[in-house]
Structure 1
Amino acid sequence: MTGIRCETDRRGVARLVLARPEKRNALDSAMIGALAETAGRLAGDSGVRVVVLSAEGPVFSAGGDLDWMRAQMAAESETRRREARALAMALKALNDLPKPLIGRVHGDAYGGGVGLMSVCDVVLAAAGTRFGLTETRLGLSPATIGPYVVERMGAARARQVFFSPRLFGAEEAATLGLVSRVVDPGALDAAIEDEVAAYLTAAPGAVAASKALVARLGSRVDEAAIEASIDALVARWETDEAEEGTRAFFEKRPPGWTRRE
Protein backbone atom coordinates (compact mmCIF):
# COMPACT_ATOMS: atom_id res chain seq x y z
CA MET A 1 0.00 0.00 0.00
CA THR A 2 1.42 3.36 -1.04
CA GLY A 3 3.42 4.93 1.76
CA ILE A 4 1.93 2.69 4.47
CA ARG A 5 2.74 -0.69 5.97
CA CYS A 6 0.47 -2.51 8.39
CA GLU A 7 1.02 -5.88 10.01
CA THR A 8 -0.80 -7.53 12.92
CA ASP A 9 0.94 -10.00 15.22
CA ARG A 10 -0.55 -13.04 16.95
CA ARG A 11 -1.48 -10.96 19.99
CA GLY A 12 -3.65 -8.64 17.93
CA VAL A 13 -1.16 -5.75 17.96
CA ALA A 14 -1.29 -3.90 14.62
CA ARG A 15 1.78 -1.92 13.56
CA LEU A 16 0.68 0.91 11.29
CA VAL A 17 3.86 2.34 9.81
CA LEU A 18 4.43 5.49 7.77
CA ALA A 19 6.70 4.00 5.11
CA ARG A 20 7.87 6.83 2.90
CA PRO A 21 11.26 7.57 4.48
CA GLU A 22 12.76 8.94 1.27
CA LYS A 23 10.24 11.80 1.54
CA ARG A 24 10.54 12.10 5.33
CA ASN A 25 7.11 10.44 5.55
CA ALA A 26 5.44 13.56 4.18
CA LEU A 27 1.75 13.09 3.44
CA ASP A 28 0.62 13.08 -0.18
CA SER A 29 -2.68 12.08 -1.76
CA ALA A 30 -1.85 8.38 -2.04
CA MET A 31 -0.59 8.13 1.52
CA ILE A 32 -3.61 10.00 2.89
CA GLY A 33 -5.93 7.59 1.07
CA ALA A 34 -3.97 4.60 2.37
CA LEU A 35 -4.23 5.86 5.95
CA ALA A 36 -8.00 6.23 5.67
CA GLU A 37 -8.42 2.80 4.08
CA THR A 38 -6.21 1.11 6.64
CA ALA A 39 -7.94 2.79 9.57
CA GLY A 40 -11.29 1.58 8.26
CA ARG A 41 -10.02 -1.96 7.94
CA LEU A 42 -8.48 -1.98 11.41
CA ALA A 43 -11.69 -0.60 12.92
CA GLY A 44 -13.67 -3.56 11.62
CA ASP A 45 -11.11 -6.26 12.46
CA SER A 46 -12.16 -7.97 15.70
CA GLY A 47 -8.74 -9.60 15.94
CA VAL A 48 -6.99 -6.25 16.39
CA ARG A 49 -6.60 -5.25 20.04
CA VAL A 50 -4.17 -2.32 19.86
CA VAL A 51 -2.73 -0.16 17.05
CA VAL A 52 0.75 1.36 17.18
CA LEU A 53 1.40 4.23 14.77
CA SER A 54 5.10 4.64 13.95
CA ALA A 55 7.38 5.59 11.08
CA GLU A 56 10.33 4.32 9.08
CA GLY A 57 13.50 6.33 8.65
CA PRO A 58 15.02 9.14 10.71
CA VAL A 59 11.82 11.18 11.24
CA PHE A 60 8.19 10.56 12.12
CA SER A 61 6.66 12.90 9.53
CA ALA A 62 7.63 16.17 7.90
CA GLY A 63 3.94 17.03 7.44
CA GLY A 64 2.31 17.75 4.10
CA ASP A 65 4.22 16.80 0.97
CA LEU A 66 5.34 20.03 -0.69
CA ASP A 67 4.73 18.71 -4.21
CA TRP A 68 1.21 17.75 -3.12
CA MET A 69 0.65 21.23 -1.66
CA ARG A 70 2.07 22.90 -4.76
CA ALA A 71 -0.34 20.87 -6.90
CA GLN A 72 -3.23 22.25 -4.85
CA MET A 73 -2.09 25.77 -5.68
CA ALA A 74 -2.56 25.03 -9.38
CA ALA A 75 -5.76 23.01 -8.98
CA GLU A 76 -9.36 24.10 -9.36
CA SER A 77 -11.30 24.92 -6.21
CA GLU A 78 -13.27 21.67 -6.29
CA THR A 79 -10.08 19.62 -6.51
CA ARG A 80 -8.62 21.55 -3.59
CA ARG A 81 -11.71 20.88 -1.54
CA ARG A 82 -11.68 17.18 -2.40
CA GLU A 83 -8.05 16.85 -1.31
CA ALA A 84 -8.67 18.78 1.91
CA ARG A 85 -11.65 16.56 2.67
CA ALA A 86 -9.59 13.41 2.06
CA LEU A 87 -7.09 14.52 4.70
CA ALA A 88 -9.87 15.46 7.11
CA MET A 89 -11.54 12.06 6.68
CA ALA A 90 -8.27 10.18 7.17
CA LEU A 91 -7.70 11.99 10.45
CA LYS A 92 -11.30 11.34 11.50
CA ALA A 93 -10.99 7.63 10.71
CA LEU A 94 -7.91 7.38 12.93
CA ASN A 95 -9.46 9.53 15.66
CA ASP A 96 -12.62 7.39 15.72
CA LEU A 97 -10.75 4.07 15.70
CA PRO A 98 -12.45 1.85 18.33
CA LYS A 99 -9.07 0.49 19.43
CA PRO A 100 -6.32 2.11 21.51
CA LEU A 101 -4.03 4.07 19.16
CA ILE A 102 -0.49 4.54 20.47
CA GLY A 103 1.88 6.96 18.73
CA ARG A 104 5.60 6.13 18.59
CA VAL A 105 7.29 9.40 17.59
CA HIS A 106 10.93 10.12 16.86
CA GLY A 107 13.09 12.53 14.88
CA ASP A 108 10.86 15.33 13.61
CA ALA A 109 7.08 15.79 13.54
CA TYR A 110 5.84 18.85 11.71
CA GLY A 111 2.42 20.02 10.49
CA GLY A 112 0.46 16.96 9.47
CA GLY A 113 2.77 14.85 11.61
CA VAL A 114 1.53 16.76 14.66
CA GLY A 115 -2.00 16.14 13.38
CA LEU A 116 -1.36 12.39 13.33
CA MET A 117 -0.03 12.55 16.88
CA SER A 118 -3.14 14.43 17.97
CA VAL A 119 -5.51 11.62 16.99
CA CYS A 120 -3.56 9.10 19.07
CA ASP A 121 -4.75 8.13 22.54
CA VAL A 122 -1.20 7.92 23.90
CA VAL A 123 1.96 9.42 22.38
CA LEU A 124 5.44 8.38 23.45
CA ALA A 125 8.24 10.49 21.99
CA ALA A 126 11.98 10.00 21.95
CA ALA A 127 13.98 12.67 23.72
CA GLY A 128 15.44 15.03 21.13
CA THR A 129 12.41 14.90 18.84
CA ARG A 130 11.51 18.28 17.32
CA PHE A 131 7.98 19.49 16.67
CA GLY A 132 6.43 22.40 14.82
CA LEU A 133 3.27 23.73 13.22
CA THR A 134 5.17 25.36 10.40
CA GLU A 135 2.34 26.05 7.95
CA THR A 136 2.26 29.81 8.49
CA ARG A 137 5.83 30.01 7.20
CA LEU A 138 4.37 28.93 3.83
CA GLY A 139 1.42 31.33 3.98
CA LEU A 140 -0.89 28.47 4.98
CA SER A 141 -2.51 27.49 8.28
CA PRO A 142 -2.75 24.16 10.16
CA ALA A 143 -6.43 24.08 9.28
CA THR A 144 -7.45 20.48 8.60
CA ILE A 145 -5.45 19.13 11.52
CA GLY A 146 -6.70 22.02 13.67
CA PRO A 147 -9.73 20.42 15.33
CA TYR A 148 -7.62 17.54 16.63
CA VAL A 149 -4.60 19.62 17.62
CA VAL A 150 -6.74 22.10 19.55
CA GLU A 151 -8.74 19.30 21.18
CA ARG A 152 -5.50 17.65 22.21
CA MET A 153 -3.84 20.74 23.67
CA GLY A 154 -6.78 22.92 24.61
CA ALA A 155 -7.18 26.41 23.16
CA ALA A 156 -4.96 28.16 25.72
CA ARG A 157 -1.97 25.92 25.08
CA ALA A 158 -2.63 25.79 21.34
CA ARG A 159 -2.24 29.57 21.18
CA GLN A 160 1.43 29.14 22.11
CA VAL A 161 2.35 27.16 18.97
CA PHE A 162 -0.60 26.92 16.57
CA PHE A 163 0.20 30.01 14.51
CA SER A 164 3.92 30.31 15.23
CA PRO A 165 6.22 28.30 12.94
CA ARG A 166 8.91 27.98 15.61
CA LEU A 167 10.21 24.51 16.44
CA PHE A 168 10.01 23.12 19.95
CA GLY A 169 11.35 20.08 21.75
CA ALA A 170 9.86 16.96 23.27
CA GLU A 171 9.69 18.31 26.80
CA GLU A 172 7.69 21.34 25.68
CA ALA A 173 5.48 19.07 23.60
CA ALA A 174 4.73 17.16 26.78
CA THR A 175 3.78 20.33 28.68
CA LEU A 176 1.51 21.28 25.78
CA GLY A 177 -0.26 17.92 25.97
CA LEU A 178 0.90 16.68 22.57
CA VAL A 179 3.16 14.04 24.09
CA SER A 180 2.17 11.72 26.94
CA ARG A 181 5.71 10.76 27.91
CA VAL A 182 9.26 11.52 26.77
CA VAL A 183 11.69 8.61 26.91
CA ASP A 184 15.30 7.94 25.98
CA PRO A 185 15.53 6.91 22.30
CA GLY A 186 16.99 3.56 23.26
CA ALA A 187 14.06 2.87 25.60
CA LEU A 188 11.29 3.90 23.21
CA ASP A 189 10.35 0.43 21.99
CA ALA A 190 10.30 -0.98 25.51
CA ALA A 191 8.06 1.88 26.64
CA ILE A 192 5.70 1.21 23.73
CA GLU A 193 5.59 -2.46 24.68
CA ASP A 194 4.63 -1.56 28.24
CA GLU A 195 1.70 0.49 26.94
CA VAL A 196 0.64 -2.32 24.62
CA ALA A 197 0.86 -4.98 27.33
CA ALA A 198 -1.54 -3.12 29.61
CA TYR A 199 -4.24 -2.99 26.93
CA LEU A 200 -3.87 -6.71 26.25
CA THR A 201 -5.09 -7.41 29.81
CA ALA A 202 -8.32 -5.44 29.22
CA ALA A 203 -11.55 -6.63 27.62
CA PRO A 204 -11.63 -5.33 24.02
CA GLY A 205 -15.28 -4.39 24.18
CA ALA A 206 -14.80 -2.50 27.42
CA VAL A 207 -11.85 -0.60 25.94
CA ALA A 208 -13.89 0.38 22.86
CA ALA A 209 -16.86 1.45 25.00
CA SER A 210 -14.63 3.47 27.31
CA LYS A 211 -12.93 5.21 24.40
CA ALA A 212 -16.34 6.07 22.92
CA LEU A 213 -17.46 7.45 26.29
CA VAL A 214 -14.43 9.74 26.50
CA ALA A 215 -15.29 11.08 23.04
CA ARG A 216 -18.89 11.66 24.09
CA LEU A 217 -18.02 13.37 27.36
CA GLY A 218 -15.17 15.50 26.02
CA SER A 219 -15.09 18.32 23.48
CA ARG A 220 -15.77 16.02 20.57
CA VAL A 221 -14.66 17.06 17.06
CA ASP A 222 -17.99 17.28 15.23
CA GLU A 223 -19.00 17.63 11.59
CA ALA A 224 -19.22 21.42 11.83
CA ALA A 225 -15.61 21.67 13.06
CA ILE A 226 -14.40 19.38 10.28
CA GLU A 227 -16.24 21.39 7.62
CA ALA A 228 -14.87 24.63 9.03
CA SER A 229 -11.32 23.23 8.88
CA ILE A 230 -11.78 22.20 5.24
CA ASP A 231 -13.13 25.64 4.35
CA ALA A 232 -10.20 27.28 6.11
CA LEU A 233 -7.58 25.22 4.28
CA VAL A 234 -9.16 25.78 0.87
CA ALA A 235 -9.40 29.51 1.58
CA ARG A 236 -5.68 29.70 2.46
CA TRP A 237 -4.66 27.73 -0.63
CA GLU A 238 -6.35 30.45 -2.69
CA THR A 239 -4.38 33.36 -1.20
CA ASP A 240 -1.44 35.29 -2.60
CA GLU A 241 0.46 34.52 0.60
CA ALA A 242 0.19 30.78 0.02
CA GLU A 243 1.36 31.16 -3.57
CA GLU A 244 4.30 33.29 -2.48
CA GLY A 245 5.17 31.01 0.45
CA THR A 246 5.29 27.81 -1.56
CA ARG A 247 7.11 29.48 -4.45
CA ALA A 248 9.72 30.89 -2.06
CA PHE A 249 10.24 27.47 -0.51
CA PHE A 250 10.99 25.82 -3.83
CA GLU A 251 13.16 28.73 -4.93
CA LYS A 252 15.06 28.47 -1.62
CA ARG A 253 14.58 32.13 -0.71
CA PRO A 254 12.80 34.02 2.07
CA PRO A 255 9.17 34.86 1.29
CA GLY A 256 8.28 38.48 0.68
CA TRP A 257 6.85 39.06 4.14
CA THR A 258 10.06 38.05 5.93
CA ARG A 259 11.48 41.03 7.76
CA ARG A 260 15.01 41.87 6.73
CA GLU A 261 17.25 43.78 9.09
Structure 2
Amino acid sequence: MYETLEITREGGVATLWMNRPDVHNAFNEQLIAELTVACRALDADDSVRVVVLAGRGKSFSAGADLNWMRRAADASVEENLHDARKLAGMLRTLAEMQKPTIARVHGAALGGGMGLASACDICIASEGAVFATSEVKFGIIPSAISPYVIRAIGSRQAHRYFQTAERISAARAADLGLAHEAVPADQLDATVQGVVTALLQGGPRSQAAAKDLIRAVADRPVSDEVVEDTARRIATLRATPEAKEGLAAFLDKRPAAWVPAKQ
Protein backbone atom coordinates (compact mmCIF):
# COMPACT_ATOMS: atom_id res chain seq x y z
CA MET A 1 0.00 0.00 0.00
CA TYR A 2 2.87 2.38 0.78
CA GLU A 3 6.21 2.80 -0.99
CA THR A 4 7.92 5.09 1.53
CA LEU A 5 6.40 3.72 4.74
CA GLU A 6 6.12 0.44 6.60
CA ILE A 7 3.53 -0.14 9.32
CA THR A 8 4.00 -2.83 11.94
CA ARG A 9 1.44 -3.72 14.58
CA GLU A 10 1.64 -5.35 17.96
CA GLY A 11 -1.51 -5.41 20.02
CA GLY A 12 -2.94 -1.91 20.04
CA VAL A 13 0.35 -0.30 18.99
CA ALA A 14 1.07 0.69 15.39
CA THR A 15 4.62 1.67 14.53
CA LEU A 16 4.80 3.91 11.48
CA TRP A 17 8.26 3.45 9.98
CA MET A 18 9.55 5.99 7.49
CA ASN A 19 11.31 3.70 5.04
CA ARG A 20 13.71 5.66 2.84
CA PRO A 21 16.93 4.66 4.61
CA ASP A 22 19.15 5.42 1.59
CA VAL A 23 18.33 9.13 1.97
CA HIS A 24 17.96 9.12 5.78
CA ASN A 25 14.16 9.23 5.46
CA ALA A 26 14.22 12.66 3.86
CA PHE A 27 10.90 14.17 2.77
CA ASN A 28 9.67 14.22 -0.77
CA GLU A 29 6.17 14.62 -2.18
CA GLN A 30 5.43 10.93 -1.84
CA LEU A 31 6.54 10.55 1.77
CA ILE A 32 4.52 13.63 2.75
CA ALA A 33 1.41 12.30 1.00
CA GLU A 34 1.78 8.79 2.43
CA LEU A 35 2.35 10.04 5.98
CA THR A 36 -0.83 12.09 5.69
CA VAL A 37 -2.88 9.12 4.50
CA ALA A 38 -1.36 6.72 7.03
CA CYS A 39 -1.96 9.05 10.00
CA ARG A 40 -5.59 9.51 9.01
CA ALA A 41 -6.09 5.76 8.57
CA LEU A 42 -4.50 4.87 11.90
CA ASP A 43 -6.46 7.56 13.70
CA ALA A 44 -9.69 6.11 12.33
CA ASP A 45 -8.76 2.53 13.28
CA ASP A 46 -10.36 1.63 16.62
CA SER A 47 -7.94 -1.28 17.06
CA VAL A 48 -5.02 1.16 17.28
CA ARG A 49 -4.40 2.73 20.69
CA VAL A 50 -0.94 4.24 20.27
CA VAL A 51 1.08 5.34 17.21
CA VAL A 52 4.88 5.29 17.27
CA LEU A 53 6.68 7.24 14.52
CA ALA A 54 10.15 5.90 13.70
CA GLY A 55 12.73 5.76 10.93
CA ARG A 56 14.43 2.83 9.25
CA GLY A 57 18.19 2.93 8.78
CA LYS A 58 20.64 5.30 10.43
CA SER A 59 18.33 8.29 10.95
CA PHE A 60 14.87 9.33 12.08
CA SER A 61 14.58 11.92 9.29
CA ALA A 62 17.12 14.26 7.76
CA GLY A 63 14.48 16.75 6.60
CA ALA A 64 13.82 17.70 3.00
CA ASP A 65 15.06 15.53 0.15
CA LEU A 66 17.73 17.43 -1.81
CA ASN A 67 16.20 16.52 -5.17
CA TRP A 68 12.84 17.82 -3.94
CA MET A 69 14.53 21.06 -2.83
CA ARG A 70 16.22 21.44 -6.22
CA ARG A 71 12.87 21.13 -7.96
CA ALA A 72 11.37 23.66 -5.54
CA ALA A 73 14.12 26.16 -6.37
CA ASP A 74 13.05 26.11 -10.02
CA ALA A 75 9.31 26.11 -9.30
CA SER A 76 6.96 29.06 -9.28
CA VAL A 77 5.61 30.65 -6.11
CA GLU A 78 2.25 28.96 -6.71
CA GLU A 79 3.89 25.56 -7.15
CA ASN A 80 5.92 26.08 -3.99
CA LEU A 81 2.78 27.15 -2.14
CA HIS A 82 1.07 23.93 -3.17
CA ASP A 83 3.98 21.84 -1.82
CA ALA A 84 4.20 23.90 1.37
CA ARG A 85 0.50 23.40 2.04
CA LYS A 86 0.91 19.65 1.66
CA LEU A 87 3.78 19.60 4.18
CA ALA A 88 1.92 21.85 6.60
CA GLY A 89 -1.19 19.68 6.27
CA MET A 90 0.76 16.50 7.00
CA LEU A 91 2.30 17.97 10.15
CA ARG A 92 -1.09 19.19 11.35
CA THR A 93 -2.65 15.78 10.68
CA LEU A 94 0.05 14.15 12.83
CA ALA A 95 -0.19 16.78 15.57
CA GLU A 96 -3.98 16.58 15.79
CA MET A 97 -4.36 12.80 15.85
CA GLN A 98 -6.72 11.65 18.59
CA LYS A 99 -4.43 8.73 19.44
CA PRO A 100 -1.30 9.25 21.58
CA THR A 101 1.78 9.60 19.38
CA ILE A 102 5.42 8.90 20.24
CA ALA A 103 8.45 9.93 18.19
CA ARG A 104 11.20 7.28 18.47
CA VAL A 105 14.20 9.35 17.44
CA HIS A 106 17.66 8.08 16.59
CA GLY A 107 20.36 9.58 14.40
CA ALA A 108 19.47 12.76 12.53
CA ALA A 109 16.22 14.65 13.12
CA LEU A 110 16.89 17.74 11.05
CA GLY A 111 14.57 20.39 9.64
CA GLY A 112 11.31 18.63 8.91
CA GLY A 113 12.55 15.67 10.96
CA MET A 114 12.71 17.93 14.01
CA GLY A 115 9.24 19.12 13.05
CA LEU A 116 7.92 15.56 13.09
CA ALA A 117 9.44 14.93 16.52
CA SER A 118 7.86 18.16 17.79
CA ALA A 119 4.46 17.37 16.29
CA CYS A 120 4.25 14.06 18.18
CA ASP A 121 2.86 14.13 21.72
CA ILE A 122 5.92 12.46 23.21
CA CYS A 123 9.53 12.32 22.01
CA ILE A 124 12.01 9.68 23.20
CA ALA A 125 15.50 10.16 21.77
CA SER A 126 18.61 8.05 21.64
CA GLU A 127 21.62 9.78 23.22
CA GLY A 128 23.21 9.85 19.77
CA ALA A 129 20.30 11.69 18.17
CA VAL A 130 20.92 15.15 16.72
CA PHE A 131 18.27 17.80 16.08
CA ALA A 132 18.40 21.09 14.17
CA THR A 133 16.27 23.69 12.45
CA SER A 134 18.81 23.91 9.66
CA GLU A 135 16.71 25.76 7.08
CA VAL A 136 18.55 29.12 7.18
CA LYS A 137 21.66 27.37 5.88
CA PHE A 138 19.70 26.87 2.66
CA GLY A 139 18.33 30.40 2.56
CA ILE A 140 14.87 29.40 3.78
CA ILE A 141 13.01 29.26 7.12
CA PRO A 142 11.48 26.47 9.27
CA SER A 143 8.03 27.77 8.46
CA ALA A 144 5.72 24.72 8.30
CA ILE A 145 7.32 23.13 11.37
CA SER A 146 7.40 26.34 13.42
CA PRO A 147 4.07 25.93 15.30
CA TYR A 148 5.20 22.57 16.66
CA VAL A 149 8.84 23.40 17.37
CA ILE A 150 7.91 26.66 19.13
CA ARG A 151 5.29 24.76 21.13
CA ALA A 152 8.03 22.34 22.20
CA ILE A 153 10.93 24.70 22.98
CA GLY A 154 9.31 28.15 23.36
CA SER A 155 9.82 31.32 21.38
CA ARG A 156 12.94 32.41 23.29
CA GLN A 157 14.89 29.28 22.35
CA ALA A 158 13.45 29.39 18.84
CA HIS A 159 15.00 32.84 18.37
CA ARG A 160 18.39 31.21 18.80
CA TYR A 161 18.02 27.95 16.93
CA PHE A 162 15.91 29.18 14.01
CA GLN A 163 18.69 31.68 13.21
CA THR A 164 21.86 29.78 14.10
CA ALA A 165 20.82 26.35 12.76
CA GLU A 166 23.07 24.88 15.45
CA ARG A 167 23.01 21.14 16.00
CA ILE A 168 21.16 20.20 19.19
CA SER A 169 22.28 17.11 21.06
CA ALA A 170 19.77 14.71 22.55
CA ALA A 171 20.72 15.86 26.06
CA ARG A 172 20.22 19.50 25.07
CA ALA A 173 16.92 18.59 23.40
CA ALA A 174 15.75 17.10 26.69
CA ASP A 175 16.80 20.27 28.53
CA LEU A 176 14.83 22.36 26.02
CA GLY A 177 11.70 20.24 26.38
CA LEU A 178 11.88 18.96 22.81
CA ALA A 179 12.67 15.41 23.92
CA HIS A 180 10.98 14.01 27.00
CA GLU A 181 13.91 11.65 27.56
CA ALA A 182 17.37 11.05 26.09
CA VAL A 183 18.47 7.47 26.69
CA PRO A 184 21.32 5.16 25.63
CA ALA A 185 20.75 3.60 22.21
CA ASP A 186 20.36 0.13 23.65
CA GLN A 187 17.58 1.37 25.91
CA LEU A 188 15.61 3.32 23.28
CA ASP A 189 13.07 0.63 22.45
CA ALA A 190 12.60 -0.40 26.08
CA THR A 191 11.96 3.21 27.07
CA VAL A 192 9.44 3.66 24.26
CA GLN A 193 7.77 0.43 25.34
CA GLY A 194 7.56 1.72 28.91
CA VAL A 195 5.74 4.82 27.73
CA VAL A 196 3.46 2.70 25.54
CA THR A 197 2.60 0.49 28.52
CA ALA A 198 1.68 3.55 30.56
CA LEU A 199 -0.47 4.94 27.73
CA LEU A 200 -2.38 1.68 27.39
CA GLN A 201 -3.60 2.04 30.96
CA GLY A 202 -5.54 5.19 30.09
CA GLY A 203 -8.98 5.40 28.52
CA PRO A 204 -8.72 6.08 24.78
CA ARG A 205 -11.53 8.64 24.70
CA SER A 206 -10.19 10.44 27.76
CA GLN A 207 -6.73 10.60 26.19
CA ALA A 208 -8.20 12.18 23.06
CA ALA A 209 -10.09 14.61 25.29
CA ALA A 210 -6.89 15.38 27.20
CA LYS A 211 -5.13 16.34 23.97
CA ASP A 212 -8.03 18.58 23.01
CA LEU A 213 -7.98 20.12 26.49
CA ILE A 214 -4.31 21.07 26.13
CA ARG A 215 -5.00 22.76 22.79
CA ALA A 216 -7.89 24.68 24.36
CA VAL A 217 -6.06 25.84 27.49
CA ALA A 218 -2.37 26.24 26.58
CA ASP A 219 -1.05 29.82 26.56
CA ARG A 220 -4.42 31.31 27.55
CA PRO A 221 -5.00 33.41 30.66
CA VAL A 222 -7.24 31.95 33.36
CA SER A 223 -10.43 33.75 32.39
CA ASP A 224 -14.09 33.09 33.20
CA GLU A 225 -14.41 31.54 29.75
CA VAL A 226 -11.53 29.12 30.34
CA VAL A 227 -12.81 28.14 33.80
CA GLU A 228 -16.29 27.47 32.43
CA ASP A 229 -14.92 25.51 29.49
CA THR A 230 -12.82 23.25 31.72
CA ALA A 231 -15.77 22.67 34.06
CA ARG A 232 -17.99 21.66 31.17
CA ARG A 233 -15.36 19.32 29.76
CA ILE A 234 -15.01 17.29 32.96
CA ALA A 235 -18.77 17.31 33.60
CA THR A 236 -19.41 15.96 30.12
CA LEU A 237 -16.78 13.23 30.41
CA ARG A 238 -17.98 12.03 33.82
CA ALA A 239 -21.25 10.92 32.23
CA THR A 240 -19.59 8.77 29.53
CA PRO A 241 -19.45 4.95 29.61
CA GLU A 242 -15.65 5.12 29.62
CA ALA A 243 -15.57 7.24 32.77
CA LYS A 244 -18.12 4.99 34.49
CA GLU A 245 -16.06 1.93 33.59
CA GLY A 246 -12.87 3.57 34.85
CA LEU A 247 -14.41 4.38 38.21
CA ALA A 248 -15.99 0.93 38.52
CA ALA A 249 -12.66 -0.74 37.73
CA PHE A 250 -10.89 1.35 40.36
CA LEU A 251 -13.50 0.53 43.03
CA ASP A 252 -13.50 -3.15 42.08
CA LYS A 253 -9.68 -3.24 42.11
CA ARG A 254 -9.51 -4.65 38.59
CA PRO A 255 -8.09 -3.45 35.26
CA ALA A 256 -10.42 -1.30 33.20
CA ALA A 257 -11.92 -2.88 30.09
CA TRP A 258 -9.51 -1.04 27.77
CA VAL A 259 -6.32 -2.28 29.50
CA PRO A 260 -4.70 -5.10 27.49
CA ALA A 261 -4.56 -8.48 29.18
CA LYS A 262 -1.09 -9.39 30.42
CA GLN A 263 0.71 -11.83 28.16
TM class, shorter-length: 0.7 to 0.9
Distance 1:127 1:110 in 2: 15
Report what 2:84 is aligned to.
84
Q: Secondary structure at the match of 1:162?
A: helix
Q: Which stretch of the first structure deviates more once superposed, 79-88 or 200-209?
A: 200-209
Task: Tell me the CA shift for residue 217 of structure 1.
Answer: 1.1
Q: May I ask how many residue pairs the two structures share in their alignment?
A: 219
Paired residues for 1:180-219 under 5 Å: 180-219=180-219
Moved over 4 A (4+): none
Distance 2:180 2:85 in 1: 28
Report what 2:143 is aligned to.
143
Report what 1:23 is aligned to.
23
- Residue 103, structure 1, aligned to residue 103, structure 2: yes
Q: Which stretch of the first structure deviates more once superposed, 36-45 or 154-163?
A: 154-163
Task: Tell me the CA shift for residue 204 of structure 1.
Answer: 0.8
Paired residues for 1:1-261 under 5 Å: 1-9=2-10, 11-219=11-219
**1:21 is matched by which residue type in structure 2?**
P
Q: Secondary structure at the match of 2:52?
A: strand
Q: Secondary structure at the match of 2:162?
A: coil
**1:7 is matched by which residue type in structure 2?**
T
Q: Secondary structure at the match of 1:15?
A: strand
Q: Is the 8 A contact 1:103 1:122 kept in 2?
A: yes
Q: Is the 8 A contact 1:158 1:176 kept in 2?
A: no
Task: Tell me the CA shift for residue 8 of structure 1.
Answer: 2.4
Distance 1:78 1:160 in 2: 30
TM superposition score normalised by structure 1: 0.82
Q: Is the 8 A contact 1:8 1:15 kept in 2?
A: yes
Task: Tell me the CA shift for residue 2 of structure 1.
Answer: 2.5
Distance 1:192 1:183 in 2: 10
**1:145 is matched by which residue type in structure 2?**
I
Q: Is the 8 A contact 1:59 1:108 kept in 2?
A: yes
Distance 1:216 1:5 in 2: 33
Report what 1:258 is aligned to.
none
**Rg (Cα) greater in structure:** 2
**2:39 is matched by which residue type in structure 1?**
A
Report what 2:237 is aligned to.
none
**2:69 is matched by which residue type in structure 1?**
M
Distance 2:79 2:42 in 1: 28
Task: Tell me the CA shift for residue 162 of structure 1.
Answer: 1.6
Q: Which stretch of the first structure deviates more once superposed, 121-130 or 211-220?
A: 211-220
TM superposition score normalised by structure 2: 0.81
Residue ranges of structure 2 left out of the alignment (5+ in a row):
221-263
Distance 1:22 1:184 in 2: 24
Task: Tell me the CA shift for residue 6 of structure 1.
Answer: 1.5
Task: Tell me the CA shift for residue 43 of structure 1.
Answer: 1.4
Distance 1:217 1:2 in 2: 39
Q: Is the 8 A contact 1:5 1:18 kept in 2?
A: yes
Task: Tell me the CA shift for residue 147 of structure 1.
Answer: 1.2
Task: Tell me the CA shift for residue 219 of structure 1.
Answer: 4.5
Q: Is the 8 A contact 2:136 2:162 kept in 1?
A: no
Report what 1:251 is aligned to.
none
Residue ranges of structure 1 left out of the alignment (5+ in a row):
221-261
**2:85 is matched by which residue type in structure 1?**
R
